[in-house]
Homo-oligomer: A and B are copies of this chain.
Amino acid sequence: MNETARIPPRSAVGFELAAGQRLTVIDAEGTQVADLLAYARNDVREVVSNGRTFDYEETIRLTTGNRLWSNRSNVMLEIEADTVGCHDFLLTPCSADTFRHFYPDKPVHRGCFGNLAEALAPWGIEADAIPVAFNCFMNVPVGEDGKLSVLPPPSGPGDSITLRAEVDLVIGLTACSAYDSNGGSFKPIDYRIG
């Protein structure tokens, strides 16, 4: 597939990405977040790990040239292009629990977490096996005192990040459901495999 596909607002998709293939995640309308998960196709107990990535890349600010590592210390994806340079790998996918906690006056949504659990179920991946996702375009500055803020993404319409698979993968990808991470708007996310 080389055409662009669309993830509707507040939903997710699951698909396979073969070693050597590239995934481009596109913020079609701007100011939107896409949570990205990756599992090894031949054993889904191997999964992308923020901690192992921080270990080996020695930074929490990942962009072109950085790699996303698994819990078994293997490279899963390499960032080949990035027009934004702002992504988060600290926070977990929004969920019914995070909606209750952060937005007590708003309707509860199953969030990216629930959407990913459904999208990944066909590969036997359970909700408990969903770790911190690589949150494309998400803007989470860390203060000098360690305090975290969630600000609107700096991405504009058409901004993108391209990652190349090092091994055969199962990918989960969302158009984010939370209020804070996308500046209060719910928008689609586009993606392309090539």
Contact = CB atoms under 8 A, between A and B. Distances in A.
Given A45-B128, A142-B142, A91 B148 contact: no
B128 A51 contact: no
B71 A97 contact: no
A87 to B, nearest CB: 10
Interface in A122-152: 126, 128, 130-132, 142, 145-148
A154 to B, nearest CB: 15
A101 to B, nearest CB: 6
Nearest to A54: B90
A97 B132 CA distance: 21
Interface in A50-99: 50-52, 54-56, 58-61, 71-73, 90-92, 95, 97-98
Number of copies: 2
Contacts of A45: 126, 128
Contact of A50 (B50, B73, B147): B50
B128 A72 contact: yes
Nearest to A95: B73
Interface in A16-64: 45-46, 49-52, 54-56, 58-61
Interface of A: 45-46, 49-52, 54-56, 58-61, 71-73, 90-92, 95, 97-98, 101, 126, 128, 130-132, 142, 145-148
Given A72-B97, A72-B128, 5 more contacts: A45-B126, A49-B92, A54-B90, A60-B142, A142-B146
